[in-house]
Structure 1
Amino acid sequence: MNYFYELAVKSESGQRLTEKEIKNLLELPYRDTFQLFPGATLLREKYHGAKIGVCSITNAKSGSCSEDCSFCAQSAHYKQRIHNYPLKSHHELVDIGMVAAGTGCGRFSIVTSGKGLSRNEVEEVCKAVVELKARNVSVCASLGILTEMDFKLLKEAGLTRYHHNLETAPDFFAKICTTHDFSHRVQTINAAVKAGLDVCSGAVFGLGETDAHVIQLAMVLKELDVVSVPVNFLVPIPGTPLENSPRITPLRCLKIICMLRYILPEKDIIVCGGRVENLGELHPFIYPAGASSVMTGNYLTRQGRNSGEDMRLIREMGLEVL
């Protein structure tokens, strides 16, 4: 039996992998990534069956962010050509959410730029959440660092899930952002959980981190017990500090998805931004690698993949749209 399949069976039984086993996973050459697929598929099907979730987002407030995340087109610290605009009205957000629901997406997320929102802005988002919930749309939000009262209001409005990426591993975070630190992101996740919200938290890969950083991040996410893990791959943005970063290779993308599935066997692993650009011809292999969801449609400042194409690929892979 494949050694890594045996690791997956162990993980499936609820046992944590040992440091030596994780080291073996870490040191597997990229060219051998396909050895991880049988175990990754076993774990995905154990916890998610043959159903693949599909979610979409809207950029509800764009640009002029005070933070200096080195990969981000919306940071006010860098010179990029993007459309800056204030928070959209709750009427606009409801209309966009209904269009997303009409494509078959299971979840719709309201995403805003900036460190956080004012109370008035949070209340405007709450109005949209109330209306969308009344129309049976599952709503998530990604609104930055908020107060306990903000989370309480969102929960009361009917929000079920809050998204707040850790962005990268704690040991690498200071190389990516200097205007706040890793602990602030963890505190926000804990505050959301305290308010009774599920949390969606992941990272951007291809920032210069090592595979050891990927493992470190996965262990933090395991301790935080987040519900879902969005996986983004860097698409270098002109004008940002990482504009000349080399593209992450397709096999490394697939190995990262596999490593996350082995360490976080029961979590919903959502492959999001940069998947098509970085995976190229190997893009369909995200599912054998362990992905249980995808983000479809446009992203924050870039066009994404057509939802019809994503739905069709899921079915062509012998899977079902959740």
Structure 2
Amino acid sequence: MARLATEADPRGRTRVQILRSGWPLMLRTTLPREPDVVTGWVARDDVAQVHLTAAGAGPIGGDRLRLEVRVGQGSALILGEVSPTLLLPGPHGERSRTEIDIHVAAGATLAWLPELVIAAQDCRHRTDIRVTLHAGARLLLREEILFGRHQEQPGTFRQRLRVVRDHRPLYDQELAVGPGTPGWDGPAVTAGHRSAGTLLVVDPDGSAPAPATARAPHTAVMALAGPATMVSTLAPDTATLRRRLDTALARIVTGRRQATVQRSPRGAGPAGIRVRVPPRRR
């Protein structure tokens, strides 16, 4: 099991309290990000930055992986991944499993940005993600899934994401694709698209995104209690998928910045929030 925990020091600045890798999940502290949409949403200079990397291939059929993350009260963490995760079949047809347990304490902030998950042909995998948010906690979570490698059908993949806030369910979603899942590629699920992604933003101080967020095709926006916003999209390829999620996040951050400016006293700035949206490639 890999474990990561942050806390606020006596001066209120974030520091990494526990950094314990569990093969093949390796945790490493990393240099600060360049200012971008994510740092604009976090809006803190003392954020801890950690990346998860794999020390071996997989998960492979039969593997059982577990990651535990604790973001202590008043601290802030950006957790990313170095590379995509490729789910592979095992030699005996066994199912692999990943369990991720996240707790974000009162007044804490977590931006969790895992890289793409690729469900390779013949894999059998289940992922369970449980997120617990306490009063005033903020969460930015992005997930992206590719159904099989180039010109191959996906294996059997099932993922459940459950978020609880103040002991009440906020978001509970399960996706199942691949053989043995009737209708997974039909119009009610993936509609024949090769990739799917979700963006979940829980921000008690934020505001709902502008309706323009939903202009991208095959993209839905839902306002949740919290307040929180969920953006779900389907795309023919991963580049389009990431672009749509990045655009949605930029609009959410911009809406939060505008709301903060409106609440600030006359002459005050937007609480240090900086937003820089990379130019669109032509």
More strand by share: 2
More helix by share: 1
* Same fold, judged at TM 0.5 (above): no
TM-score (norm 1): 0.29
